[in-house]
Amino acid sequence: MAAKETGTQVTGTVAVEVCVEGDVEEEAVAYVREKVGAVLGRPGVPAVSGAVKIARAVAQHTERPWSARAELVVGNTLVVVHAQEVTAHELADRLQDRLRSQVNLVPHRREETRGSATPPPWRGGCAQGGRG
C-alpha cells in the first residue's frame, strides 16, 4: 500500500510533509501535526524541512499497530525519529518527546561548536622544551 500525502504544514521556517499509510483517521493526523508543530515551531529552532510518515498496521495481532517515522533536516542537521505505540494519541506524544530531545541536541552538533584540541606530543603536536 502506498503512502498518502495529507499536506504540508508550513509555518514560518517549518515545512513538514505528513504522509499516512493504512487506515488513519484525520483526527489522528491533526493531533500528530499539532504535536510536531509544537516542537518545531519553538523560538530558536532553525529552519526545518522534511517528512513525517504515520502508519497503522492492518494485522489484528500486532502489539503496537501505530508507528511513525520522522526524517527532518533541522538547520543543516538530519534528525531521524522512530516511534511505535498502541494508540494514535500515545504515538503523537511519544513522537513529540523524541523529536524534542533530538531537536534540543541540534545546536550542540553544529560544526562551529566543535573545537579541535592540539594533538598531544606523541601524535605530532608541538611539545614545549622537547622535539617539535
Please check whether residue 38 lies inside any domain of the structure. yes
Please check whether residue 129 lies inside any domain of the structure. no
SS3 16: strand
The three cell numbers locating residue 54: 504515520
Q: Are 45 and 103 in contact (CB under 8 A)?
A: yes
Confidence of residue 38 (pLDDT cuts 50, 70, 90): very high
What range does the domain containing 79 cover?
4-110
Please check whether residue 128 lies inside any domain of the structure. no
* Higher-confidence position of 69 and 13: 69
Q: How many domains in the chain? A: 1
* Higher-confidence position of 75 and 82: 82
The three cell numbers locating residue 122: 606523541
Please check whether residue 103 lies inside any domain of the structure. yes
Confidence of residue 132 (pLDDT cuts 50, 70, 90): very low
Residues 6+ apart with CB under 8 A from 87: 66
Please check whether residue 131 lies inside any domain of the structure. no
| CATH number, residue 46 | 3.30.160.100
Please check whether residue 96 lies inside any domain of the structure. yes
Angstrom distances, CA of residue 36 to CA of 18, 57, 76? 10, 21, 19
